[in-house]
């Protein structure tokens, strides 16, 4: 219509590029400790690999050329910035006495160390592949990082060449290794690639080559799994077949050392069977920068974030109970009132203790849990196995299709089945992403509802909230979710929980419409939330309508966001920030004004079509007044951040937030906010440490 403003949105994959750029920007900030900068570089690189494996692969199959071109432009722009950042950080490392050395700069003592390491750890871990012997490198290669080798033989006045590739066995050996210090006393680190370069002759003993040259390259595969519809196969068998198809997925992006001889490069590219949509990027000597996440610290703890101790909430809960000197069990504590933990500020041990007490208590009859990702040496699984051995009925819903954790989950499934645990592989056509635990006892039932995985590794670096409750309205609903998973075609109703794909979308929509109605009536009307992603078109449209009606919308968001803020008569009342800091912001907390009677929810769901329509997700209302206040504190702290938060407005500028960007209610929540830098993770750590 004439004069009507078009409502702009950002395509989800473009918004993801903006998000990942925020991580790269963190590696450029002078106040970030030097070794932590390497970690952010590694995270940026790893994210980009996964993005190409998943999203670019999908776009390529759909031939979404416009989006692919936009991504390619951003990729090229950010890649130049990435290269400058890597150079700058390694320059700073050298200034601080930590040097990355290659095979040509080794002292005699360092060479001896590398030779011994090669014999003890690398021999047998990898072998060369002759390019002349393979038609398609994808069909036999199960590594994404290689050395391309040109071997030279001089005989009878003639020079001839042979060509091979050598998989770099990072997964078995590790990428970066500290070696003896140099003569100036600098701590020295060498990449596995350079060890292999030094020892290349050992791979071709007796073949009479006169010279060896090696150039690194890496490629990113299409990670889509082909899951067939063979009704004779179990879900486990289908996933195992799908993993096999992923290992030979088509390459989508190739990065190579630009010093590689043209004939060698031509042969490698030919064997990779590249398509016109694939991205080929000339680079430098080193690739696979994700391995920088495990770069040795060389004993320099002064170049890392200061160590923090997680608060032992179980001890705090016990001290708050009047038990006449007796130590109360965790079930008694939860029966008295709802409890919560906020990892990593609080220790994950409170949840582990719940499972351990459940494993040995004679009152406990059954345990049900949903698992999405698990630690490599999962203490959660250990406790569940102990419960099964003690005669408890243990049921585990494990999601076999948790991306890039499929093999791990297959392994854990087998181990739990062998222990007598009933293992359920979710619902056909739906991923089970909700984070739930249900425990049935002779004295009553209990539940845990979380925003993140029951994963003690994640709990050290991801911010997540877990609610422990004995409230029947919540506990009974959690059991109904497990009933739905076991029998998805049976009708089920939930009293308190918002469960996808059943009612979550419709209930969230109704909550937003209530805010719109209240704004028009002059009642309190706002939406304040902390979430990972917002890309669902219908939810974005509702938020635009809410903003246009005068609802104040404030969002702390980690990743993808399709909203463009500041559009006249569309999104002027929406403010969004994104925080990148030492912990990955992962919790989802929603606050609706509801006319002055706030409704607060925590849970597993982001506002994306996959979460609202294609997964089993759970959002739980928070009833306990003290916990409600803590949820406000978490959300408000994120929204008030003026140190780590960047403005997310759809432009991709990612400018740092200033006090002038903050709405008035935050100044009421945190007096003096304009007078000091406010870093939400530091503020929360101080708050929990002082409680």
- Residue at which a domain ends, from 470, 495, 520: 495
Residue 3 lies in a domain: no
Same domain, 282 and 357: no
pLDDT of residue 407: 78
Same domain, 642 and 524: yes
Beta-sheet strand order (sheet of 187-191): 98-101, 187-191, 176-179
**Taking residues 638-645, what's their average pLDDT?**
98
Same domain, 352 and 418: yes
Indicate if the pLDDT at residue 246 is higher than 50: no
pLDDT of residue 1: 35
The residues, any chain, with a CB within 8 Å of residue 556's CB and separated by 6 or more, are 529, 530, 531, 576, 577, 578, 579, 585, 635, 638, 639, 641, 645
Residue 4 lies in a domain: no
SS3 658: coil
Same domain, 491 and 504: no
Q: What is the DSSP letter of 310?
A: P
Question: What does the pLDDT look like over 190-244, one tens digit per residue?
Answer: 999 999 999 999 999 989 899 999 999 988 766 554 444 444 445 555 555 544 4
The candidate with the shortest Cα–Cα distance to 314, out of 327, 325, 330, is: 330
Contact by Cβ (8 Å): 305, 187: no
Contact by Cβ (8 Å): 556, 639: yes
SS3 503: coil
Same domain, 475 and 562: no
Residue 633 lies in a domain: yes
Token pair recorded at residue 390: 């003690």
Residue 226 lies in a domain: yes
Q: How far apart are CA 630 and CA 624, in angstroms?
A: 10
Same domain, 80 and 224: yes
Residue 1 lies in a domain: no
Q: How far apart are CA 637 and CA 121, in angstroms?
A: 48
Residue 431 lies in a domain: yes
Lowest mean pLDDT among 153-162, 471-480, 549-558, 586-595: 153-162
Q: What is the CATH number of the domain that holds 61?
A: 3.30.1840.10
pLDDT of residue 240: 53
pLDDT of residue 251: 60
Contact by Cβ (8 Å): 160, 197: no
Buried b (16+ CB within 10 A) or exposed e, 294-310: ebbebebeebeeeeeeb
Rounded to 5 degrees, what angle do the CA atoms 173, 178, 182 make? 145
Indicate if the pLDDT at residue 245 is higher than 60: no
- Residue at which a domain ends, from 476, 495, 514: 495
Q: What is the CATH number of the domain that holds 363?
A: 3.30.870.10
Q: How far apart are CA 568 and CA 657, in angstroms?
A: 21
Same domain, 216 and 344: no
Q: How far apart are CA 46 and CA 40, in angstroms?
A: 10
The residues, any chain, with a CB within 8 Å of residue 568's CB and separated by 6 or more, are 5
Indicate if the pLDDT at residue 256 is higher than 70: yes
411 is catalytic: no
Same domain, 391 and 456: yes
Same domain, 298 and 389: no
Q: Identify the residue with better confidence: 327 or 310.
A: 310
Q: How far apart are CA 282 and CA 267, in angstroms?
A: 15
Please state the pTM of the whole predicted model: 0.92
Residue 5 lies in a domain: no
Q: How far apart are CA 90 and CA 554, in angstroms?
A: 38
Beta strands in 484-573, from DSSP E residues, in sequence order: 498-500, 526-531, 552-557
Residue 92 confidence class, pLDDT cut points 50, 70, 90? very high
Question: What does the pLDDT look like over 286-299, one tens digit per residue?
Answer: 988 999 999 999 99
pLDDT of residue 67: 86
Domain count, the chain: 3
Catalytic residue among 21, 346, 433, 586: 433
User: Rounded mean pLDDT of the chain?
Assistant: 91
Q: What are phi and psi of 520, to 5 degrees?
A: -70, -25
Question: What does the pLDDT look like over 129-142, one tens digit per residue?
Answer: 999 998 888 776 55
pLDDT of residue 194: 98
Same domain, 479 and 535: no
pLDDT of residue 435: 97
Question: What does the pLDDT look like over 352-405, one tens digit per residue?
Answer: 999 999 999 999 999 999 999 988 899 999 999 999 999 999 999 998 876 666
SS3 590: strand
Residue-range definition of the domain harbouring residue 336: 313-495
Indicate if the pLDDT at residue 636 is higher than 60: yes
pLDDT of residue 321: 86
Beta-strand relationship, 211-221 and 187-191: unpaired
Q: How far apart are CA 590 and CA 555, in angstroms?
A: 9
Residue 308 lies in a domain: no
Same domain, 606 and 470: no
What CA–CA distances, in Å, run from 272 to 45, 258, 267, 370? 22, 17, 9, 40
Question: What does the pLDDT look like over 478-523, one tens digit per residue?
Answer: 999 999 999 887 888 999 999 999 999 999 999 999 999 999 999 9
Rounded to 5 degrees, what angle do the CA atoms 442, 446, 451 make? 160
Same domain, 526 and 551: yes
- Residue at which a domain ends, from 477, 495, 513: 495
> What percent of the chain clears pLDDT 70, i.e. is strictly above it?
91
């Amino acid at each position: 219509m004439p004069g009507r403003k078009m409502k702009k949105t950002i395509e989800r994959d473009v918004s993801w590029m903006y998000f990942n750029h925020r991580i790269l920007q963190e590696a450029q900030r002078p106040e970030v400790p030097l070794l932590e900068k390497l970690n952010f570089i590694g995270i940026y690189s790893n994210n980009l690999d996964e993005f190409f494996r998943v999203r670019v692969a999908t776009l390529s199959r759909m031939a979404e050329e416009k989006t692919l071109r936009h991504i390619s432009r951003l990729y090229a722009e950010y890649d130049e910035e990435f290269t400058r950042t890597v150079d700058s950080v390694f320059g700073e490392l050298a200034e601080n006495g930590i040097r990355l050395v290659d095979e040509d700069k080794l002292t005699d003592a360092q060479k001896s160390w590398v030779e011994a390491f090669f014999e003890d750890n690398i021999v047998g871990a990898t072998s060369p592949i002759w390019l002349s012997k393979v038609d398609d490198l994808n069909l036999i290669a199960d590594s994404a990082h290689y050395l391309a080798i040109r071997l030279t033989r001089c005989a009878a006045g003639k020079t001839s060449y042979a060509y091979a590739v050598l998989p770099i066995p990072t997964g078995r050996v590790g990428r970066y290794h500290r070696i003896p210090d140099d003569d100036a006393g600098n701590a020295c680190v060498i990449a596995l690639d350079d060890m292999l370069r030094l020892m290349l002759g050992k791979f071709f003993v007796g073949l009479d080559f006169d010279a060896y040259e090696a150039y690194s390259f890496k490629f990113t595969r299409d990670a889509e799994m082909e899951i067939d519809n063979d009704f004779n196969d179990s879900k486990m068998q289908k996933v195992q077949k799908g993993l096999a198809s992923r290992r030979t997925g088509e390459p989508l992006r190739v990065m190579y050392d630009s010093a590689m001889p043209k004939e060698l490069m031509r042969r490698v590219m030919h064997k990779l069977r590249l398509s016109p949509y694939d991205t080929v990027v000339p680079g430098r000597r080193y690739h696979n920068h994700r391995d920088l996440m495990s770069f040795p610290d060389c004993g320099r703890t002064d170049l890392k974030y200061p160590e923090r101790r997680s608060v032992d909430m179980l001890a705090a809960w016990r001290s708050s109970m009047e038990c006449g000197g007796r130590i109360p069990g965790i079930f008694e504590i939860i029966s008295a009132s709802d409890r919560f933990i906020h990892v990593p500020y609080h220790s994950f041990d409170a949840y582990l203790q719940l499972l351990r007490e459940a494993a040995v208590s004679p009152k406990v009859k059954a345990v049900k849990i949903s698992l999405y990702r698990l630690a490599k040496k999962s203490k959660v699984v250990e406790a569940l196995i102990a419960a099964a051995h003690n005669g408890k009925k243990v049921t585990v819903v494990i999601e076999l299709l948790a991306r890039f954790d499929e093999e791990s989950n297959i392994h854990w499934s087998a181990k739990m089945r062998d222990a007598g645990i009933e293992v359920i592989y979710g619902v056909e056509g739906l991923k089970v992403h909700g984070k739930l635990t249900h425990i049935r006892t002779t004295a009553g039932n209990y539940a845990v509802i979380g925003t993140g995985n029951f994963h003690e590794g994640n709990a050290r670096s991801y911010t997540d909230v877990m609610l422990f409750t004995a409230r029947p309205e919540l506990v009974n609903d959690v059991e109904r979710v497990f009933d739905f998973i076991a029998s998805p075609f049976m009708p089920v109703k939930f009293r308190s929980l918002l469960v996808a794909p059943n009612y979550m979308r419709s209930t969230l929509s109704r909550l937003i419409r209530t805010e719109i109605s209240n704004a028009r009536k002059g009642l309190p009307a706002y939406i304040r939330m902390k979430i990972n992603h917002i890309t669902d078109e219908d939810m974005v449209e509702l938020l635009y309508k809410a903003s246009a009606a005068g609802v104040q919308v404030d969002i702390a968001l980690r990743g993808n966001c399709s909203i463009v803020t500041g559009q006249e008569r569309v999104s002027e009342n929406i403010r969004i920030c994104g925080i990148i800091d030492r912990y990955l912001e992962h919790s989802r907390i929603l606050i609706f004004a509801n006319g002055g009677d706030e409704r607060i929810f925590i849970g597993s769901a982001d506002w994306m079509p996959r979460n609202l329509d294609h997964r089993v997700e759970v959002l739980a209302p928070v009833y306990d007044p003290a916990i409600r206040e803590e949820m406000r504190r978490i959300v408000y702290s994120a929204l008030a951040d003026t140190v780590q938060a960047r403005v997310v407005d759809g432009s991709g500028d990612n400018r740092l937030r200033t006090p002038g960007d903050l709405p008035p209610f935050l100044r009421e929540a945190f007096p003096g906010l304009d007078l000091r830098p406010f870093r939400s993770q530091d503020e929360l750590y101080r708050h929990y440490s002082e409680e």
